[in-house]
Amino acid sequence: MYQLYSNPRSPFSKRVHIYLQYRNLPYETLTIALEKLENRKKPFIQINPYGKVPVLVDDGFFLAESQAIIRYLEEKHSFDSPFFSKEIQKGALLNQAIQRCESEFCFPGSIVYFAKKFVPEEKWDTNRMKDSLKRIGRHFDILEGILESNDYLHENRFGFLEILYAPFIRQIELMEVKVPTKVGDWVKRVLEEPVVSRVLADSN
């Protein structure tokens, strides 16, 4: 059975919970108390020197980084409907979309999110936040183009991208960015996916 070092408030961990449950892979959750800085101390710091969750344990093999974990499991198990197509260019386009999700949405999103959640307003770096919101707005416009003729972002089915976005689009109202119609419909569709709503409602 797999083990997953995780924290209930960690969106990156939630990605892996969603994936493991979507693929029906049995696992056990090992909670790391970030609020007690358990992630910065031994033994966890020896498992991941960056002190971050999630980390997957597969029979003595340790792997950090949510995307890397999902890819590893996807490659290890040969599912009937793999997320990565055998067609090299389709796989490359998925990789492109994954990088854009991280750099054009999750990264600028986290700047806004952490400021609003944890920093007093008088200390906000407003220029950086404005720039981040502009990037998110542009990203949504690009997604809107894809979603004009698709219900999902890649190969028109729920997949890797939806799993990466899910824990972050839940916080969309914090972004105070105009959400285009099709993107709004897609957000609702993704959050209503049974495994997504179950994991996001769960505190583990």
- Which residues are at the interface with ligand GSH (CB under 6 A)? 10-12, 34, 39, 51-54, 65-67
Question: Hey, how many other C-beta atoms are within 10 angstroms of the C-beta on 70?
Answer: 24
Q: Which of 161, 168, 169, 158 is nearest to 195 (CA)?
A: 158
Nearest-approach distance from CB 145 to ligand GSH, in angstroms = 26
Residue 48: both structure tokens together: 């991941």
Helices of type H across the chain: 11-22, 44-47, 66-76, 88-100, 107-118, 126-147, 160-169, 181-192, 194-201
For 103, phi and psi rounded to 5 degrees? -85, -30
Q: Which is nearer to ligand GSH, 21 or 110 (CB)?
A: 110
Contacts of 129 (CB under 8 A, 6+ apart): 111, 112, 115
CB of 129 to ligand GSH, least distance (A): 19
Work out how close the CB of 51 gets to ligand GSH at its nearest, in angstroms, rounded to a whole number: 5
Cis amide linkage into residue 43, ω under 30° from 0: yes
The burial class, CB within 10 Å (0-12 / 13-18 / 19+), for 104 is: middle
* Minimum CB distance to ligand GSH smaller for 52 or for 139: 52
Instruction: Identify whether the C-beta of residue 204 lies closer than 8 Å to the C-beta of residue 29.
Output: yes
- CB 183, min distance to ligand GSH, A: 22
**In the bound complex, what is the minimum distance in angstroms from residue 104's beta carbon to ligand GSH?**
15
Nearer to ligand GSH, 65 or 155 (CB): 65
Q: Which is nearer to ligand GSH, 33 or 92 (CB)?
A: 33
Considering beta carbons, is residue 46 or 126 the nearer one to ligand GSH? 46
The tokens 């949504």 sit on which residue? 140
Instruction: Report the nearest approach of ligand GSH to the CB of residue 142 (Å).
Output: 22
Nearer to ligand GSH, 79 or 107 (CB): 107
